[in-house]
């Protein structure tokens, strides 16, 4: 049996001298119908370029295939050599034989057309359907990607849909031509973990229904475990390991694969939660947050009193010295807003944030998600690190320089970094700079807002270790905001789960992660991808996050709590 797609010794280069600037060198693989190939690698490993070479989209990015052969068996049975195909043949091939979905569903959809029109266009071009037929086909395909109420959704614009819905629309468009091969380039990276599980479930179901082959590109080796038949691990444009899924995961041969498998934070349902620094009773908390409420008014005009977005609605927690409280939740759950309110970056509507009344005043500091955006590109490291001290009224003198060098050493950067600029550092180094800067004022509490989310997995692991070391050395209390349960398990002593602006479950990390009580916590934890789970069956559900826009004067019902363990409380779910 000939394979659907066969890639032999593929070399792809960029720029004027494509042979000299090779990004992919010597990639070969075979893919049968109905099979899934997972390509795993960190940023810059050449995984996306490999996939884009298959449908020759790489040409539009300035890339050139310098050597190798890509052959695709087309629907009629004839074999097409994609490296030498004419532009006309390529255009026919794209869409009809090979469909593609991208990482960012908002930018891949045209914002000025309704999704119905965009799907109909796909049918018109690829299947020659017109008028009524194309509308019917669009509705059908939306139903196939499990979008409820498909008929009325056809008239929606992309911005009216959630991220997960938009990705479903993208999948629907790719399906419009009944492709024999679907290339999915990090299709779930921009999505929340429960939505990710939905999309993964949908993709496996569709693959089994249609018998199409799939190339699944991801940086998350745990995610690919649940869907792929074969795995190809790439590093610096070279395939370092390639085999069927179980062999690669259970018996990795190459050091880099082993390293990736180790570095990926494995989620183990609370078993690997930290057991240092258990809560002691009778210790004065460094901060106690009581009934924190943040609301943003909407659509207010002088004629009509508008409602408000209840971003944070009645949040209570406290933080002991040297303790990590992780706040987990999905986008829009209000976790970042709560953190920002603590630092005064957003105004709170009401509530109290009580700081301990110690002798010395140690401030709260914050580390942000994006290490590229949180450092001013025009200032050198010395000016960047000096800023908090200058703001606190210190002068740039010898003592201050010594403190900078000391902290740079603590975050494992050399002292000659002082004269360099942010763009001369890698993402992980920048994030360590941000940590050093936040420590300049010797804070008591560090708020880490998705501080490791933008980093590659191996870098992420090192930063996490560093954070734990620093916490022990300086006695820092961390408020760790994250959506990633596996990362949270590594660093948190306690976990608070936020959903729709409210804490629904809070307590000891091991207890919450091992024994989740609230239905949302359960959903969140079951959606976490795990290396141990192969050929995973995802069940589809359509639970929607409730709208946070409330009428003026609305107050949520008072929370009632149920004690689960010594330090584990869950909010009692009110029937809606």
Partner 1 sequence: MHILRALIRHPSGRIGGAIILLLLIAAICGALGLTPHDPIKAFPPDRLKPPSATYWMGTDLLGRDTASRLMLGIGLSFIVAFASVICATIAGTVIGLFAAWWGRPWDGIFMRTMDVLLAFPAILLALLIISIVGPGPMTSIVAIAIVYTPIFARVVRGPALSLKHREFIDAARTFGSSESYILTRHLLLNLIAPLTVQFTLALAWSLLTEAGLSFLGLGTQPPSPSLGLMLSESRNLMQHAPWLMLFPGLTVMIGVLGFNLTGDALRDILDPRTQERGA
* Residue 477 backbone class (left: φ over 0; alpha: ψ -120 to 50; beta: rest): beta
Residue 278 has which token pair?
């258990």
With beta carbons less than 8 A apart as the criterion, state whether 569 and 507 touch.
yes
Specify the residue, 392 or 540, whose C-beta has the smaller distance to partner 1.
392
Instruction: Return the beta strands (E) in 320-443 as ranges.
Output: 324-328, 350-355, 364-367
- Mutual orientation of helices 163-175 and 115-127 as an angle, nearest 10°? 20
Q: What phi, psi does 371 have (nearest 5°)? A: -70, -15
Compare residues 171 and 364 and give the one whose CB is closer to partner 1.
Answer: 364
Select from 430, 435, 510, 422 the least CA-distant residue to 469.
435
- Interhelix angle 131-144/115-127, rounded to 10 degrees, is 110
* Number of Cβ atoms within 10 Å of the Cβ of 331: 15
CB within 8 A of 24, min separation 6: which ones? 10, 11, 12, 46, 49, 50, 53, 237
CB of 370 vs partner 1, minimal distance in Å: 6
In whole angstroms, how close is the CB of 25 to partner 1 at the nearest point? 23
> Given the complex with partner 1, which of 375 and 455 has the nearer CB atom?
375
Find the shortest distance in angstroms from Cβ 15 to partner 1: 11
Residues 42 and 456: beta-carbon distance below 8 Å: yes
- Count helices and strands (H / E) in the chain: 19, 22
Of 157, 232, 222, 231, nearest in space to 196 by CA: 222
Q: Which is nearer to partner 1, 82 or 447 (CB)?
A: 447
Name the minimum Å distance from CB 436 to partner 1: 13
- Which tokens in the block code for residue 246? 């179980």
C-beta of 273 vs 435, nearer to partner 1: 435
Do the Cβ atoms of 329 and 480 come closer than 8 Å?
Answer: no
Instruction: Decide whether 293 or 439 has the Cβ nearer to partner 1.
Output: 439
Closer residue to partner 1 (CB): 426 or 544: 426
How is residue 298 annotated by DSSP? -
Residue 89 — left, alpha, or beta (φ > 0 → left; ψ -120 to 50 → alpha)? Answer: alpha
Shortest distance (Å) from residue 368 CB to partner 1: 5
Of the two residues 197 and 441, which places its CB atom closer to partner 1 in the complex? Answer: 441
Nearest distance from residue 343's CB to partner 1, in Å?
Answer: 5
Task: Please state the closest distance from residue 112 (CB atom) to partner 1, in A.
Answer: 22
Contact between residue 205 and residue 145 where contact means Cβ atoms under 8 Å apart: no
Instruction: Measure CA 126 to chain center.
Output: 33
Which of 259, 401 has the CB closer to partner 1? 401
- Take residue 140 and report the two structure tokens written for it: 């059908």
Least CB distance to partner 1 at residue 355 (A): 15
Four-point Cα dihedral 512, 518, 520, 525, nearest 10: 30
Q: Which of 138, 131, 89 is nearest to 115 (CA)?
A: 138
Pick the closer one to partner 1 by CB: 375 or 491.
375
Q: Three-state SS string across 59-78, please?
A: HHHCEEEEEEEEEEECCCCC
Angstrom distance (rounded) from CA 215 to CA 69: 17
CB of 46 to partner 1, least distance (A): 20
Smallest gap from residue 460 Cβ to partner 1 (A) = 19
Min CB(47)–partner 1 separation in Å: 22
What distance in Å separates the CA atoms of residue 451 and residue 432, rounded to the nearest whole number? 10
In terms of CB distance, is 182 or 289 closer to partner 1?
289
Give the chain's end-to-end CA distance (angstroms, integer).
Answer: 56
Q: Which helix H or strand E contains 8, and what residues bound it?
A: strand 5-14
* Beta carbon nearer to partner 1, 227 or 451: 451
- Interface with partner 1 (CB under 8 A): 340, 343-345, 363-366, 368-370, 373-379, 383, 387-388, 390-392, 423-424, 434, 437, 441
Minimum CB distance to partner 1, residue 428 (Å): 17
451 secondary structure, DSSP code: T
- C-alpha 256/C-alpha 235 separation (Å) is 8
Give the shortest CB-341-to-partner 1 separation in angstroms. 12
Report the distance separating Cα 455 and Cα 257, nearest Å: 18
Tell me the closest approach of the beta carbon of residue 285 to partner 1, in angstroms.
21
Closer residue to partner 1, CB minimum distance, 408 or 525: 408
User: What's the length of the chain?
Assistant: 576
Q: Specify the residue, 227 or 479, whose C-beta has the smaller distance to partner 1.
A: 479
Give whichever of 11 and 432 is closer to partner 1, judged by the CB atom: 432
In the bound complex, what is the minimum distance in angstroms from residue 387's beta carbon to partner 1? Answer: 6
């Amino acid at each position: 049996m000939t394979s659907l797609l066969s890639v032999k010794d593929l070399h792809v280069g960029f720029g004027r001298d494509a042979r000299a600037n090779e990004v992919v060198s010597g990639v070969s693989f075979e893919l049968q119908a109905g099979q899934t190939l997972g390509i795993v690698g960190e940023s810059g490993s050449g995984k996306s370029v490999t996939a884009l070479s298959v449908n020759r989209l790489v040409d539009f990015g300035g890339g050139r295939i310098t050597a190798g052969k890509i052959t695709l068996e087309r629907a009629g049975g004839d074999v097409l050599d994609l490296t030498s195909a004419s532009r006309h043949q390529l255009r026919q091939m794209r869409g009809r034989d090979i469909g593609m979905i991208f990482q960012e569903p908002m930018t891949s959809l045209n914002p000025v057309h309704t999704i119905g029109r965009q799907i109909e266009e796909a049918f018109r071009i690829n299947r020659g359907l017109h008028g009524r037929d194309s509308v019917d086909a669009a509705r059908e395909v939306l139903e196939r990607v499990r979008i409820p109420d498909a008929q009325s959704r056809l008239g929606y614009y992309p911005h009216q849909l959630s991220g997960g819905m938009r990705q479903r629309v993208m999948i629907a468009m790719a399906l419009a031509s009944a492709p024999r091969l679907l290339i999915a380039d990090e299709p779930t990276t921009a999505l929340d973990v429960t939505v990710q599980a939905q999309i993964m479930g949908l993709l496996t179901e569709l693959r089994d229904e249609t018998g199409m082959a799939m190339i699944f590109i991801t940086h998350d080796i745990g995610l690919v475990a649940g869907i792929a038949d074969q795995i190809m691990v790439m590093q610096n444009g070279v395939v370092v390991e390639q085999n069927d899924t179980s062999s690669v995961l259970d018996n990795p041969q190459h050091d880099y694969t082993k390293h990736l498998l180790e570095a990926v934070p494995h989620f183990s349902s609370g078993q690997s939660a930290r057991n240092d620094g258990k809560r002691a009773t009778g210790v004065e908390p460094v901060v106690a947050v009581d009934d924190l409420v943040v609301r943003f008014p909407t659509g207010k005009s002088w004629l009509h009193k508008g409602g408000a977005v209840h971003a944070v609605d009645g949040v209570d927690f406290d933080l002991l010295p040297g303790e990590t409280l992780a706040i987990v939740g999905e986008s829009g759950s209000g976790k970042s807003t709560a953190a920002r309110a603590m630092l005064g970056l957003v105004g709170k509507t009401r509530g109290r944030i009580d700081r301990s009344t110690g002798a010395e005043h140690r401030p709260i500091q914050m580390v942000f998600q994006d290490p590229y955006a949180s450092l001013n590109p025009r200032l050198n490291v010395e000016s960047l690190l000096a800023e908090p001290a200058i703001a606190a009224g210190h002068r740039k003198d010898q003592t201050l320089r010594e403190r900078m060098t000391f902290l740079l050493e603590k975050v494992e950067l050399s002292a000659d970094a002082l004269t360099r600029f942010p763009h001369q550092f890698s993402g992980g180094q920048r994030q360590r700079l941000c940590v050093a800067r936040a420590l300049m004022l010797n804070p008591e509490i560090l708020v880490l807002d998705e501080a490791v989310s933008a980093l590659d997995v191996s870098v992420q692991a090192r930063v996490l270790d560093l954070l734990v070391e620093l916490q022990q050395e300086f006695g820092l209390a961390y408020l760790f905001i994250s959506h990633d349960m596996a990362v949270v398990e590594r660093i948190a002593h306690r976990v608070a789960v936020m959903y729709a602006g409210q804490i629904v479950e809070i307590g000891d990390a091991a207890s919450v992660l091992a024994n989740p009580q609230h239905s949302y916590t359960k959903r969140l934890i079951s959606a976490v991808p795990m290396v141990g789970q192969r050929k995973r069956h995802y069940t589809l559900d359509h639970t929607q996050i409730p709208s946070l826009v409330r009428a003026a004067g609305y107050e949520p019902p008072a929370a009632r709590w149920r004690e689960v363990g010594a330090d584990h409380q869950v909010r009692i779910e009110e029937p809606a």
